[in-house]
Amino acid sequence: MKQSFYDLNYSDLEAVINQNNLNPSVAAILFNWHYKKKESIQCRDNISKSSLDFFEHQFDFSLPEIDLVHESSKDRTVKFLFKLKDNHKVETVLIPFNNKYSICLSSQVGCAMNCSFCFTGEQGLKRNLTTSEIVGQFLQAWRWLASNRPGEERILNIVFMGQGEPLHNFDAVKKACEIFLSQRGTSIGVQKITISTAGYIPGLKRWSQETPGVNLALSLHSPFTEKRNELIPINKKYPLDEVLSYIDQIPLQKKQFITYEYILIKGFNDSPDDAKKLGALLAGKRAYINLIPFNPFPGSRYESPDLDEVENFKAVLDEFRIPTLIRGAKGDDVLAACGQLNSKN
Ligand code: SAH
C-alpha cells in the first residue's frame, strides 16, 4: 500500500525530495497546495511533470471519507462521521465561536481509558489513528465548510478532545501538530492547539519535551482519590497528585495556562465540598478550569447537574480566584457534545 502524503511533516517531505533528486522547491509548493490552499486535486502549481508523476506514483493523496454529517439546528455545530480505509469510523466536531470554528479531533478509534462517564470508552480501543487520518479530519472539515458555508472556512483552534487519548498515540499526534503548526502548512498558532489527557504520565513527559507551547488540558473531574478512580481508572496507575506535581514543574511559556476540565455529575462531584477541595488543589497554579455539565448518553449511569449547583460550584472556585468557565453543551442535539462521541452509531 502506498504511503499517505499526509503522513509527512515538512522535513519528511524534504527528505523524500532529497533522496530522489527532485527539485528542492517542490516541498514548499506541495505543502502550499495541499495545506494552505487545501486543494483536493493534483497540484497545478509551478512543478515539473516528472516531480508530479513521482508523487502520484509513490504517494496516496486520499483522505478519510465523510460518511455522515449532522448539523445542529440550535447552534451551527457540525458533527462528521468519517469512514477510514479499514471501515472503522471516527468522529470530528466543528464548534462555532464568533464566525470562526474550533475543531475537536479524534486521535484513536475507540479509547483504552474506559472512563465511566464517557460514551467513547464503551467501545474499548480499536486502534491508533495515523497522522494522515488526524490531519485528514481537519482538511475534510475545512473543505466541507468551503462548499457548504462558503466564507466560513476559518478553523482557528484545534482541540484533541474527540475520541481517544491523544497522549496514548503521541507519535501520530505530534506529527499532526507539526503539520498544523508549519508556516508552510496550515500555519495554526501554537497556543491554538490543545491536547487533552486523562493523565497518562509517559505521554505527558513527551508532550512537555517534544511539543513545546502546545497547550495541555487535564481531565481532572474529582480531587478525591476514590471518586477519581471510579471516573478515570488510570488514576490507579497514575494518581492525580503525581500527575499534578509533574505538570507543576514544567516551565510554561508566557501567557500559557493549563486547562483543568471538570465534569459536573449530579450528586456525585458537584457539591460545595468538592469545589472547595478542587479550589484548594489548584489555587496559585497557572490554571483555568472548564466546568462541563455531564452530557448523558443512552445507558449512561450518571445524570446532569442542576443549573443552581453548577453556579454554586463556580462561585466557590471564584473565591479561590481561579478563572473558571462553564462550558455550554454545544451540539448536544446531535450527540456531538463531549463524551457523546461513539462511532458505533
Ligand atoms: N482522553 C482525553 C480526551 C478525550 S475526552 C481526555 O480524557 O481528556 C475530552 C473531554 O470530554 C474530557 O474532559 C472528557 O472528560 C470530556 N467528556 C467525556 N465524556 C463526557 C460526558 N459524557 N459529558 C461531558 N464531558 C465529557
Looking up cell 474506559 gives 114
The dihedral of CA 18, 20, 25, 26: what is its sign?
Answer: negative
- Gap from CA of 81 to ligand 1 centroid (Å): 18
Ligand 1, atom 24: closest residue by C-alpha: 294
What would the mean pLDDT of 179-186 be, rounded to a whole number?
A: 94
Given a cut of 60, whether residue 337 has pLDDT beyond it is: no
Average pLDDT over the chain reads: 93
In percent, the amount of the chain with pLDDT more than 90 equals 85
Question: What is the CA(338)–ligand 1 centre distance, in A?
Answer: 5
Residue ranges in the chain assigned as alpha helix (H): 10-19, 25-31, 49-58, 131-148, 170-181, 201-210, 225-231, 240-248, 272-282, 307-319
* CA of residue 219 to ligand 1 center, whole Å: 7
Q: What CA–CA distance (Å, rounded) separates 153 from 265? A: 35
Per 3-state DSSP, what percentage of the chain is helix, strand, and coil (rounded to 5)? Answer: 40, 20, 40
Q: How far, in Å, CA of 194 to CA of 220, rounded?
A: 15
C-alpha cell at 101: 470554528
More confidently predicted of 343 and 193: 193
Residues 6+ apart with CB under 8 A from 304: 265, 266, 293, 294, 295, 296
Cβ atoms of residues 233 and 283 within 8 Å: no
Q: What is the mean pLDDT of residues 33-41?
A: 92
Any alpha helices (H) in 22-156, and if so which ranges? 25-31, 49-58, 131-148
Active site residue 43: no
Q: What is the pLDDT of residue 345?
A: 45
Res 302 pLDDT > 60: yes
- How many CA atoms does the CB half-sphere of 112 hold within 13 Å? 11
Return the ligand 1 atom nearest residue 160 CA: 3
For each of the domains in the chain, give its residue range(s) and CATH number, in order of start.
3-60 (no CATH), 65-334 (3.20.20.70)
Q: Where on the phi/psi map is residue 132: left (φ > 0), alpha (ψ -120 to 50), or beta?
A: alpha
In the prediction, which pLDDT does 182 show? 95
Q: Which of 43, 91, 165, 261 is catalytic?
A: 91
**Would you state the pLDDT for residue 283?**
95
Reference 196, options 225, 227, 232, 223; nearest CA is 232
Span 209-262, pLDDT tens digits: 999 899 999 999 999 999 999 999 999 999 999 999 999 999 898 889 999 999
**pLDDT, tens digit (0-9, with 9 covering 90-100), for 113-152:** 999 999 988 889 999 999 999 999 999 999 999 999 999 9
CA distance 331 to 174: 28
